[in-house]
Amino acid sequence: MTLTLDAPRIVRTRALLQVSNVSKSYGPVQALRNVSAHAYPGEVLGIVGESGSGKSTLLRMMNLEETPDQGSYTLDLPDVQGNLFDLDRFARRMLCATRIGIVYQNPHLGLLMKHSSSGNVAERLLVAGERSFATLRAKATEALEASEFPLDRLDAPPIELSGGMQQRVQLAKAIALEPALLLLDEPTTGLDVSVQALVLDTLKRLQQDRKITMVIVSHDLGVIRTLADRVMVMRRGEVVETGLADQIFQDPQHAYTQQLVHAKL
Ligand SMILES: Nc1ncnc2c1ncn2[C@@H]1O[C@H](COP(=O)(O)OP(=O)(O)O)[C@@H](O)[C@H]1O
Ligand SMILES: [Mg+2]
C-alpha cells in the first residue's frame, strides 16, 4: 500500500485556492487536461514541469487572465464566492487588483518599462482605489524596500535596470496591496545564477515574514526545491504527481518525476 501524504501540517485547514478539473485547448493543442490544484493558507505550492507542460496557462487562470473550456476556481476569502471563472471582466479585474499579485517571467508583461519604478508600484495602488499622493509614495517605497530594491533608484524606469532589479519592481508591485495570493511565473528564469539566488532569498524571506500563500511555477527543480512546501509535477498538460516537497525530492513515485529529480542531482 502506498501512503499518500498530500495534506501538509495544516491538515484540517480549508484550502485558500482550489482549482478543479480545468481543461483548455488552443486549437489542436490541449494545454491543460483535467488539472486540479490547491494551496493552503500560508503555503508555497511549486509547479514544475518541462517547457510546454501547461504551467503558465494554469497560472494565468489563477490570475483570471484566461478562462478554461471547463473547470472551476474558488478562493476562500471574505466577500469572494462561487466559481471565479463566472465573474465578468470588471469583477475579475477588481479581484486581481486587490487580492492577487503576480510576477511574470517577462517584466514587459508586468511593468510599464518607461515609467519610474515607484510609479509602477503606485499605479497598482491607484487601480485599487488609493488616492493620496503621500500614501501612494509611502506604500510604494515600503513595498520596494521589502523587495530589497535599492531606494536610491526609486525614480529609475525599469528599462534602465538589470533583470534582477526589474523582477524586484514586479515583486514590489505584486505585494504592495498585501495580496492573499502571490503568483510567480518563472520569476528567476533568465537571470544570472548569482542574481537568481539573491531574488530567491528575497522571496523566501518575504514568505517567512508575511506568510503569503504563493504559487510558483518553474521548469527549474532547484527553484522549486528552494521555496515550495508542496510540489505538483506537470507534463503535457496533465498532473503527473503531487506531494510534499521533501517527499517528491527524496522519494519520487512517477517515472517522469524520478527522471527530473535524478537529472538534477
Ligand atoms: N495563447 C496561446 N495560444 C496558443 N497556444 C498556447 C497559448 N498559450 C499556451 N499555448 C500552448 O499551450 C501549451 C502549454 O503552454 P504553457 O502553459 O506556456 O506551458 P509552460 O508554461 O509549461 O511552458 C504549449 O503547447 C503552448 O504552445
Ligand atoms: Mg511558462
DSSP class of residue 244 equals E
Distance 124 CA to ligand 1 centre (A): 27
In the three-class reduction of DSSP (H, G, I as helix; E, B as strand; rest coil), residue 105 is classed as coil
Q: Which residue has a Cα nearest atom 14 of ligand 1? A: 54
Crossing angle of the two packed helices 133-146 and 117-127, in degrees rounded to 10: 120
Residues flanking ligand 1, CB < 6 Å: 26, 29, 31, 49, 51-57
Residue 262 pLDDT: 86
Q: Where are the domains of the chain?
A: 17-114+181-264
Residue 1 pLDDT: 47
Rounded CA separation 55/75 (Å): 19
**CB contact at 8 A, 41 and 224:** no
Distance 217 CA to ligand 2 centre (A): 8
Q: Which residue has a Cα nearest atom 17 of ligand 1? A: 54
Amino acid code (one letter) for 133: F
pTM given for the model: 0.94
Residue 4 pLDDT: 53
Rounded CA separation 49/56 (Å): 10
Residue 221 pLDDT: 93
What top-level class would CATH report for the domain 17-114+181-264?
Answer: alpha beta
- CA torsion sign, 193 to 264 to 204 to 233? positive
Digit-by-digit pLDDT tens for the chain (265 residues) are: 445 555 555 455 799 999 999 999 999 999 999 999 999 999 999 999 999 999 999 999 999 999 999 999 999 999 999 999 999 999 999 999 999 999 999 999 999 999 999 999 999 999 888 999 999 999 999 999 999 999 999 999 999 999 999 999 999 999 999 999 999 999 999 999 999 999 999 999 999 999 999 999 999 999 999 999 999 999 999 999 999 999 999 999 999 999 989 886 5
C-alpha cell at 90: 470588471
Rounded CA separation 237/19 (Å): 14
User: For ligand 1, what atom is nearest to the CA of residue 51?
Assistant: 23
